[in-house]
């Protein structure tokens, strides 16, 4: 398998994930401002999840361009990441319907934790592939620390949801802010 095939497959999966999320948004039955306000939590949850999925897709794109060879370990690491990402529509809908409930907030945080860990596994394979290129290996290790911080913060959002759902939502907004600009190796044209 080539990197372009792996990227095309992953792009397709992520596109379906985003499509499923938007299909869960329902227009209000009444054409009134109060009816629109009632769906605001669902829209905000969708917007947050769309942003998270977009950042994951952009960073995944940059990550795959650093691949030296598509190995079985790389493919399984990628499938692991895509599995956890495929649950984002489910946890998004659950959160949209139950945004004040700690269980829904915690479940959302746990899925994003597992997505972050999925990125760590994928990045670890790139560190292994780049072990003879010190500059690239250092770059991947530096980004890996950011991935690990994200996984830890998302993980902490789960128990924190039982103390304050707003504190957990703060973490959900903070982590995408850290990733808004994708990591790129200096001098890359991508």
- Residues 182 and 82: their CA atoms lie apart, in Å, by 18
Q: What is the pLDDT at residue 189?
A: 47
With bands split at pLDDT 50, 70 and 90, how would you rate the model's confidence at 14? very high
CB neighbour list of residue 52: distance below 8 Å, 6 or more residues apart: 88, 112, 172, 175, 176
| Verdict on whether the full-model pTM lies above 0.75 | yes
In this predicted model, what pLDDT tens digit does every residue of 158-183 receive, in sequence order?
Answer: 999 999 999 999 999 999 998 876 55
Residue 12's alpha-carbon distances to 19, 47, 103, 108, in angstroms, are 10, 20, 30, 23
Q: What is the DSSP letter of 25?
A: -
CA distance 104 to 158: 9
- pLDDT at residue 125 above 70? yes
Tokens of 157: 């959002």
The residue length of the chain stands at 190
Nearest to 17 by CA among 78, 76, 91: 91
Give the chain's largest Cα–Cα span.
62
Task: Report, as an integer, the average pLDDT of 4-32.
Answer: 92
Q: Which residue has the higher pLDDT, 49 or 59?
A: 49
Residue 156 has pLDDT above 50, yes or no: yes
Q: What's the pLDDT score for residue 129?
A: 84
Residue 67 confidence (pLDDT): 86
**Where are the chain's structural domains?**
3-24+41-179
Distance CA 121, CA 77 (A): 6
**What's the pLDDT at 74?**
93
Instruction: Find the mean pLDDT for residues 87-93.
Output: 97
Nearest CA-CA partner of 172 in 157, 188, 189: 157
């Amino acid at each position: 398998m080539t990197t372009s095939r792996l990227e095309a497959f992953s792009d397709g999966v992520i596109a379906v994930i985003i499509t499923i999320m938007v299909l869960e948004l329902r227009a209000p039955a009444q054409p009134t401002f109060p009816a629109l306000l009632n769906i605001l939590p669902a829209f905000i949850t969708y917007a947050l999840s769309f942003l998270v999925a977009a950042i994951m897709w952009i960073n995944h794109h940059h990550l795959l361009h650093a691949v030296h060879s598509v190995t079985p370990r790389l493919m399984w690491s990628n499938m692991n990441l895509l599995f956890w990402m495929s649950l984002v529509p489910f946890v998004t809908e659950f959160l949209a319907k139950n945004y004040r409930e700690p269980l829904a907030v915690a479940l959302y945080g746990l899925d994003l934790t597992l997505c972050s860990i999925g990125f760590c596994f994928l990045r670890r394979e790139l560190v292994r592939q780049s072990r003879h290129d010190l500059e690239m290996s250092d770059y991947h290790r530096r980004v890996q620390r950011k991935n690990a911080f994200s996984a830890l913060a998302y993980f902490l959002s789960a128990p924190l949801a039982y103390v304050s759902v707003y504190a957990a939502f703060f973490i959900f907004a903070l982590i995408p802010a850290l990733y808004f600009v994708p990591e790129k190796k200096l001098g890359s044209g991508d």
